[in-house]
Amino acid sequence: MKPGRTSDILLGLAGVAIVVAGWELLVRGGAVDPKLFPSPTMAFAEAAERLSAATVAQHTLWSLYRIVVGFLLGAVAGTVIGIAAGWYRGIGLVLRPIIELLRPIPPLAWIPLAIIWFGLGEPSKFFIIFLGAFFPVVTAAYVGITSVDPVLIRAAQTFGLRGPGLLLRVGLPAAAPDLLTGIRIGWGLAFGILVAAELIAADRGLGFMIMNERNTTGSVAVIVVGITLIGILNLITDWAIAAASQRYIGRWHGR
Amino acid sequence: MRRRLIDILFASVVIGALLAAWELGVAYGYLKVYQFPPASRIAKGFVDLTTVGFPTGITVWSHTATTIGRILQGYAGALVLAIPLGFVIGSSRVLDKMTAPLIVFGRSIATLSLLPLAIVWFGTGELTKIVLIGYGCFWVMLSNVIAGVKYVDPVLLKAGRAYGASGIELARTVVLPAALPRIFAGARMALGVGFMVIVGAEMIGTVEGLGALIMEARTFYRSEITIVGMLIIGVLGFAISTGLMWLERALVPWGDPLAGVRR
Amino acid sequence: MRSSAQSNMGAAPRLAADQATAAQPAAPAIEIDRVTKTFADRAGSGITVLDDISLAIAQNAFVSLVGRSGCGKTTLLNILAGLEAPTSGAVRIAGRPVKGPGQGQGVVFQQHALFPWLTALENVKFGCRKRPISRAEKEDVARDLLALVGLQDAAAKYPREMSGGMQQRVAIARALALDPDILLMDEPFGALDELTRIELQDELLRIWQVRRKTVVFVTHSISEALVLSDRIVLLAPHPGRIARDVTVDPPRPRVRSDPRFATLYDEIWRGLSQ
């Protein structure tokens, strides 16, 4: 009675195939102007003609470099601050209102300030991506550490654990599932922000690559391929993070 | 009660001290005014914005109204498309499986990466901004509606059928109410996405709107106005999401307003 | 020691006779001396949860605390565990005042309170992490204890992969890993189904015989208290105080259908209904 996973995958593939084929046919059939919206095969062929694989790889690596640096800074700071604010009452009392005030400000709105503080170079991009990762992670870490089952804390206390030992051996692992969810959300957000940051002020990276194509009235094909490439990168890295966190918490926490 | 009062007092004293130190730091020249405009200057910036406006003539209210208008148009468009579509997809297993990878991919595409494409199609005017907001909100909304419909507790469906409901009636009396909490969670998340996208979208090709305001203020070295703009965006986002939470509590009194947020 | 966990219904507590005599000597394992506990409520005035409780519990005794919800039995247990401090009065374990947890009190909670990220074996090892023994010895202690509760084959399982009964067995093993003088148990079998519950009661009695601990056992169930205890202390609510102190004398090994239990059951029920 229970349908297998293979049939699910086949259905999914069928769905993708229908959309791609439909798109291809619409363009080939003349219903859509290929200059405005090229078909998948046309877009790919044209992009391959205009850009060398090495150029694309270079832009991709730049984007990944920025996102990894900014994300790591944000995730580490978010974890430390969220845990500290949730575990130590005094720290929480001061930090929470500040975080709550700043959290609703979208990371992109910090771009002007980032430029004022860090100039137009890499640090301002790191900073924006940092913010994108920081807020989801800090929230998740705070929620995770404040919702640790009190009975676990008591149990650990009966074995003589307290202070930092209690935090490291009980608080952190208990908060890990929430924290990892936040990290995954943070990564996704960082990704979306990176492209925006590169659209506005950059001379390399995938965001720059597609915006530059538009500004120089180049080919829509390159833009379409670029957008797709960014989406696929996002998807693959998200799966990798999900798989890694599942490896760590999957057996004891479940899905 | 008393404990809470002491807490608030403690937090405000520490935060007040930080603000005062910032003010003094600027006054004694340790911090540059341009880089770190202190609270007093930000307050003055706000007054300027409400009276003179920035750029001259466009006050903070019209910036805000413009931004809200754009968000609402894109947001409403996304909701109108996503809710019925989500119901159809969510109630059919085959459709759900067929569209799953497309939806995952649609969500993975960074909305703002569509900006160059949108400009090619719709120019640099209003439509581009509204379409981008709509795109961002649409996928979040769609996946939540589908999940809401798909994960209706089978026991409730059984109970509904046992009492003779079927077809449209079952959808109206059981599926819709059961899916509402998730739909609302989606609506709130989508709004967050909308706010995120608008700021980026307004940074290009316009001088009106809060996103344009903060960008424009920077080029004129008015960092305090940038900060005022940021704070208004933040307050606006917070206010609207709180408003939605109230609406949700009124319309879905049986739901947990945090369900779906923590997953 | 070789008993299988699932079928130990008849595991005979052989030491029952000397247990009773050993319980007589003067130095009590636990002394509760005029303990009062007051919580501040929202209005700012206090609610007295425990009112002037005094109790001495003998070495190796099995004492149950029975009472309705709100009689403060869990609070009393937490005070014994050192997890809460009394408002006034003192608690001494083996003559030493209790200043906090980890002074030789092993605690088993109602929810198993196992660390979900640790396997059964790691959870038990956690229990002896503060003991001054080598790493290898800890491993041995933990494996022995898992065997004692009949779970040697479940060492690598995580709590969520175990049944409620297994979880509570691991929790008992973990508390024993501390090598405590006294074992405090807060409705440990309250969340289990009836059959598992009976099984674990017998298991606990067997362990108690082998390991010779002083046990303080909080429960709602009169029959559970009767099967297990040497002595049942009845607590009355509002404010929590000792209503009655009943000695349970039917000799061990006990049979659940022993007619003497019926008389005691009535006596306790009357004591609770006053």
What is the predicted pLDDT for the residue at B205?
A: 77
What is the predicted pLDDT for the residue at C26?
A: 56
The lowest-confidence range among A171-175, C61-65, C92-96 is: C92-96
What is the predicted pLDDT for the residue at A74?
A: 96
CA A252/CA A254 separation, integer angstroms = 6
Please report the residues numbered 219 through 238 in chain C whose beta carbons come closer than 8 angstroms to any beta carbon of chain A: none
Cross-strand pairs, C236: C241
Any chain B CB within 8 A of the CB of C44? yes
- Does A159 contact C129 at a Cβ distance shorter than 8 Å? yes
CA atoms within 13 Å, Cβ hemisphere of A23: 15
Q: Please, where are the H alpha helices in B151-175?
A: 154-162, 167-170
What is the predicted pLDDT for the residue at C148?
A: 92
Q: How many CB pairs under 8 A join A and C?
A: 67
| Average pLDDT estimate for B173-190 | 88
A90/chain C closest Cα distance in angstroms? 22
Of C82, C115, C130, the CB nearest to A152: C115
Of B93, B108, B235, the CB nearest to A234: B108
Evaluate if residue A2 carries a pLDDT over 80: no
| CATH for the A38-253 domain, from 3.40.50.300, 1.10.3720.10, 1.10.3210.10, 1.25.40.320 | 1.10.3720.10
| Average pLDDT estimate for A119-147 | 93
B250/chain A closest Cα distance in angstroms? 23
DSSP code for B175: I
Evaluate if residue C8 carries a pLDDT over 70: no
What is the predicted pLDDT for the residue at B259?
A: 47
Q: Which two tokens stand for residue C208?
A: 């108690």
| Average pLDDT estimate for C64-86 | 91
What is the predicted pLDDT for the residue at A247?
A: 86
Any chain A CB within 8 A of the CB of C107? yes
Which residues on A lie below 8 Å from B230 (Cβ)?
105, 109-110, 113
Which residues on C lie below 8 Å from A157 (Cβ)?
83, 100-102
| Average pLDDT estimate for A147-170 | 92
Any chain C CB within 8 A of the CB of A249? yes
For residue B114, the chain A residue with the least C-alpha distance is A227
Cross-strand pairs, C138: none
| Average pLDDT estimate for C206-233 | 92
What is the predicted pLDDT for the residue at B261?
A: 41
C272/chain B closest Cα distance in angstroms? 36
What is the predicted pLDDT for the residue at C47?
A: 86
| Average pLDDT estimate for C202-216 | 92
- Chains in contact with A via at least 3 Cβ–Cβ pairs below 8 Å: B, C
Which residues on A lie below 8 Å from C77 (Cβ)?
none
Evaluate if residue A205 carries a pLDDT over 50: yes
Please report the residues numbered 165 through 204 in chain B whose beta carbons come closer than 8 angstroms to any beta carbon of chain A: 195-196, 199-200, 203-204
Q: Please, where are the H alpha helices in chain C?
A: 16-22, 73-81, 120-127, 135-148, 164-177, 194-211, 222-228, 259-273
Of B111, B262, B263, the CB nearest to A192: B111
A227/chain B closest Cα distance in angstroms? 6
- Chains in contact with B via at least 3 Cβ–Cβ pairs below 8 Å: A, C
Evaluate if residue B76 carries a pLDDT over 80: yes
What is the predicted pLDDT for the residue at C15?
A: 41
The lowest-confidence range among A87-91, B169-173, C93-97 is: B169-173
Evaluate if residue C98 carries a pLDDT over 70: yes
For residue B122, the chain A residue with the least C-alpha distance is A36
Of the pLDDT bands very low, low, confident and very high (cuts 50, 70, 90), residue C13 is very low
What is the predicted pLDDT for the residue at A137?
A: 96
10 Å CB burial of residue C156 (0-12, 13-18, 19+) is: exposed
Share of chain B above pLDDT 70, in %: 96
What is the predicted pLDDT for the residue at C43?
A: 65
Which residues on B lie below 8 Å from C44 (Cβ)?
1-2
Any chain A CB within 8 A of the CB of B99? yes
| Average pLDDT estimate for A187-202 | 84
Which residues on A lie below 8 Å from B234 (Cβ)?
101-105, 109
Judge contact between C33 and C90, C-beta under 8 A.
Answer: yes
The lowest-confidence range among B198-202, B239-243, B257-261, C190-194 is: B257-261
Which residues on B lie below 8 Å from A178 (Cβ)?
262
Give this complex's ipTM. 0.87
Of the pLDDT bands very low, low, confident and very high (cuts 50, 70, 90), residue B132 is very high
Judge contact between C28 and C60, C-beta under 8 A.
Answer: no
For residue A33, the chain B residue with the least C-alpha distance is B121
Evaluate if residue C9 carries a pLDDT over 70: no
What is the predicted pLDDT for the residue at C42?
A: 67
Among the listed residues C192, C153, C120, C168, the one whose alpha carbon sits nearest the alpha carbon of residue A252: C120
Share of chain A above pLDDT 90, in %: 57
What is the predicted pLDDT for the residue at C144?
A: 94
DSSP code for C160: G
Judge contact between C237 and C71, C-beta under 8 A.
Answer: yes
Which residues on C lie below 8 Å from A160 (Cβ)?
101-102, 130
What is the predicted pLDDT for the residue at C7?
A: 37
Which residues on B lie below 8 Å from A200 (Cβ)?
200, 203-204
DSSP code for B32: -
| Residues 6 or more apart whose Cβ sits within 8 Å of residue A193 | A107, A108, A128, A129, A131, A132
Instruction: Please name the helix (run of DSSP H) or strand (run of DSSP E) that holds residue B205, with its range, or none.
Output: none
Any chain A CB within 8 A of the CB of C131? no
Share of chain C above pLDDT 90, in %: 59
DSSP C75-144: HHHHHHHTSS--SEEEEEETTEEP-SS-SSEEEE-SS----TTS-HHHHHHHHTTTSSS-HHHHHHHHHH
What's chain C's Rg over C-alpha atoms?
Answer: 18
Judge contact between B230 and A110, C-beta under 8 A.
Answer: yes
Evaluate if residue B242 carries a pLDDT over 50: yes
What is the predicted pLDDT for the residue at A47?
A: 87
Evaluate if residue B16 carries a pLDDT over 60: yes
Of the pLDDT bands very low, low, confident and very high (cuts 50, 70, 90), residue B174 is confident
Any chain A CB within 8 A of the CB of C132? no
| Average pLDDT estimate for B132-139 | 95
CA A106/CA B236 separation, integer angstroms = 11
Which residues on C lie below 8 Å from A254 (Cβ)?
160
Evaluate if residue C21 carries a pLDDT over 60: no
Of the pLDDT bands very low, low, confident and very high (cuts 50, 70, 90), residue C10 is very low
Please report the residues numbered 112 through 141 in chain B whose beta carbons come closer than 8 angstroms to any beta carbon of chain A: 112-117, 119-121
| Average pLDDT estimate for B114-127 | 89
Of C111, C130, C158, the CB nearest to A252: C158
Evaluate if residue B262 carries a pLDDT over 70: no
Evaluate if residue B255 carries a pLDDT over 70: no
What is the predicted pLDDT for the residue at B169?
A: 83
**Can you give the residue ranges of every domain in chain C?**
28-104+183-188+216-274
What is the predicted pLDDT for the residue at A255?
A: 55
What is the predicted pLDDT for the residue at C1?
A: 34
Helix (DSSP H) and strand (DSSP E) numbers for chain A: 11, 0
CA A232/CA C197 separation, integer angstroms = 54
Q: How far is C-alpha B214 from the geometric centre of its chain's CA atoms? A: 18
Residue entry with tokens 């006596």: C267
What is the predicted pLDDT for the residue at B256?
A: 60
Judge contact between A142 and A88, C-beta under 8 A.
Answer: no
The lowest-confidence range among B58-67, B167-176, C22-31, C171-180 is: C22-31
What is the predicted pLDDT for the residue at A195?
A: 82
Any chain C CB within 8 A of the CB of A163? no
- CATH superfamily membership of C28-104+183-188+216-274: P-loop containing nucleotide triphosphate hydrolases (3.40.50.300)
Evaluate if residue A136 carries a pLDDT over 70: yes
- Does B98 contact A210 at a Cβ distance shorter than 8 Å? no
- Does B226 contact A181 at a Cβ distance shorter than 8 Å? no
Evaluate if residue C173 carries a pLDDT over 90: yes
Of the pLDDT bands very low, low, confident and very high (cuts 50, 70, 90), residue B168 is confident
Judge contact between C142 and C133, C-beta under 8 A.
Answer: no
Q: How many CB pairs under 8 A join B and C?
A: 3
**Can you give the residue ranges of every domain in chain A?**
38-253
Any chain A CB within 8 A of the CB of C102? yes
What confidence tens digit (pLDDT) does each residue in B41-56 have? 899 989 988 888 888 7
- Does C107 contact A154 at a Cβ distance shorter than 8 Å? yes
Any chain C CB within 8 A of the CB of B3? no
Evaluate if residue C12 carries a pLDDT over 50: no
What confidence tens digit (pLDDT) does each residue in C120-157 have? 999 999 998 888 889 999 999 999 999 999 999 999 99
| Average pLDDT estimate for C89-97 | 91
Evaluate if residue A126 carries a pLDDT over 90: yes
| Average pLDDT estimate for C1-5 | 37
Which residues on C lie below 8 Å from B2 (Cβ)?
44
A76/chain C closest Cα distance in angstroms? 22
